[in-house]
Amino acid sequence: MLTTLYLTAALFYLLASSLQWRALQKKLPANSAINKLAVLAVLFHFTAGWYDNNSSGIIDVSLLHVLSLAALIMAIIIVASRIFGQSLLPAGLIAFPITAIILFTLVVAPDTPLALMHITTDTRIHVFSSMLAFAMFGVATVYALFILALDYFLRSHRVTSMIEALPPLEVLDKVLLRLVSIGFIALSIGLASGFIFIDNLFAQHLLHKTVLSLIAWLVFAILIMGRWRYGWRGRTAVRLTLIGMWFLILAYFGSKLVLEVFMETGWQQNPAEISQLK
């Protein structure tokens, strides 16, 4: 059943992005079919994740499961954005296929479960705010790539129908700043709660993750301050967004890849907390 749920979600993600691609090529707005497919993809993805955790009896924080959670939150943000009057559905053109690849990998080559042993309020706040931050910056990165592509084609006078279908640069730039600002707030909460949650950075193999996250936080802080003080936009905003996202990817998933795949270990909880559970 779990495999069916993940594969069905992946299929709906691919169908939604395929229709989105066709709509952009024909300079058409997102239609109800795309929205429905995206909603179905999110529902199946959410159900699969819920069933996966409940059937195993643990909260799995292994690499692929965390990637799946981050992709799910990103998809929810994209789908729910219409409620707030600013549809982010074009971001699904890139985000949805990546999510489908993650789900296919989860089915074909599942990783070894890594259980989160002790759930506290601080833990929940840290995990949720961190994933929300990554998802917001993920959508922002897609919009940064849109700005990069639109700017390049406009400068080279090679405007295609798909490029013409994208919103104007000014609109893309405003959306980018809004997403970065929300992501920055979430990342700040995630870092603050993390310092409460983490007992020993060295013992828990989290020093590199924390340092990289702080560098990403600093990059996004510079971007927001530069936009407010000096009016930074366009290529400058795009570069800083991509740099910040790169450090965040290294912090969230690069460290997990090294620990879980190459070092065959992972994040460790406070030993005192684990002993209390035995």
The predicted-structure confidence for 144-203, as pLDDT tens digits, reads as follows 999 988 888 888 877 666 677 777 888 899 999 999 999 999 999 988 887 776 655 444
Residues 92 and 78 sit within 8 Å (Cβ to Cβ): yes
Instruction: Tell me how many domains the chain contains.
Output: 2
Using the predicted structure, report yes or no on whether residue 68 has a pLDDT greater than 60. Answer: yes
151 and 257 inside one domain: yes
Category of 209 on φ-ψ map: left (φ > 0), alpha (ψ -120 to 50) or beta: alpha
Residues 75 and 88 sit within 8 Å (Cβ to Cβ): no
C-alpha 189: how far from its chain's center? 16
CB atoms within 10 A of CB 141: 25
Using the predicted structure, report yes or no on whether residue 53 has a pLDDT greater than 60. Answer: yes
Among 131-135, 219-223, 273-277, the least confident range: 273-277
124 and 234 inside one domain: yes
Q: Within a domain: residue 70?
A: yes
72 and 157 inside one domain: no
Q: Report the interhelical angle of 207-230 vs 169-197 (nearest 10°).
A: 140
Q: Within a domain: residue 37?
A: yes
Which band of pLDDT confidence, cut at 50, 70 and 90, is reported for residue 141? very high
The mean pLDDT value for 65-83 works out to 90
The mean pLDDT value for 243-255 works out to 86
The mean pLDDT value for 231-257 works out to 86
Give the C-alpha separation, 190 to 195, whole Å.
9
191 and 214 inside one domain: yes
Q: Within a domain: residue 277?
A: no
Residue holding tokens 């090679």? 158
122 and 110 inside one domain: no
178 and 215 inside one domain: yes
Task: Give 1: exposed, middle or buried? Use CB within 10 Å, 0-12, 13-18, 19+.
Answer: exposed
208 and 266 inside one domain: yes
Q: Within a domain: residue 58?
A: yes
* Residue range(s) defining the domain that contains residue 243: 117-272
10 and 31 inside one domain: yes
pTM: 0.84
Q: Within a domain: residue 44?
A: yes
Q: Within a domain: residue 278?
A: no
Residues 64 and 106 sit within 8 Å (Cβ to Cβ): yes
Decide which of 96, 114, 132 is a domain's last residue: 114
Distances (CA, A) of 210 to 49, 73, 83: 26, 22, 34
263 and 128 inside one domain: yes
Using the predicted structure, report yes or no on whether residue 266 has a pLDDT greater than 90. Answer: no
133 and 53 inside one domain: no
Decide which of 89, 114, 139 is a domain's last residue: 114
Query: How confident is the model at residue 273, as a pLDDT?
Result: 37
Using the predicted structure, report yes or no on whether residue 99 has a pLDDT greater than 60. Answer: yes
121 and 252 inside one domain: yes
What are the residues whose beta carbons fall under 8 Å from the beta carbon of 236, sequence distance 6 or more? 226
Using the predicted structure, report yes or no on whether residue 238 has a pLDDT greater than 90. Answer: yes
Q: Within a domain: residue 170?
A: yes
170 and 231 inside one domain: yes
